[in-house]
Structure 1
Amino acid sequence: MPRLGKKKAVVAIKHSILTAVWHMLANNVAYHDLGGDYFTRLDPEHAMRRLTRQANALGFTIRFDPIEAG
């Protein structure tokens, strides 16, 4: 993702905070952190595609092998 600049980043953070506060007040719920891996857990296939694109951009190829449950 291209860098958009400090001012746009600050506005994006403010928008995220304002959206979270609005949902908390509108729904009368307490804040709970979704976690740093929320989007990875939400759509793991998208995360794998993103990782593959990033590795390819750096000149690497990657292979995903499932971990055996045990």
Structure 2
Amino acid sequence: MLRSLAVLALTGLLAGCGLAETGAAAAAGGVSKAEEARQAKQTEARIQQQIDAANAQAQQQRRAAEAASQ
């Protein structure tokens, strides 16, 4: 009887440790996903700025070409 209780207690402790580890891993994974999302937003904003700058430059070149052709 005592041996059964000891095995049961040990099983409970090991299961608890696994649950704690799984919870910690999930929390760390959530933080890492949030960081990835933040970096993706920054990259998107940087690329949009580059696109806007390229469009502005192209528009200036078109205006210069139109002015030169008149």
The structure richer in helix per residue is: 2
TM-score range, shorter chain: 0.3 to 0.5
Which structure would you say has the larger RCO, counting Cα contacts within 8 Å and 6 or more residues apart?
Answer: 1
Q: Based on CA coordinates, which of the two structures has the bigger radius of gyration?
A: 2
Q: Output the TM-score relative to the length of structure 1.
A: 0.34
Q: Output the TM-score relative to the length of structure 2.
A: 0.34
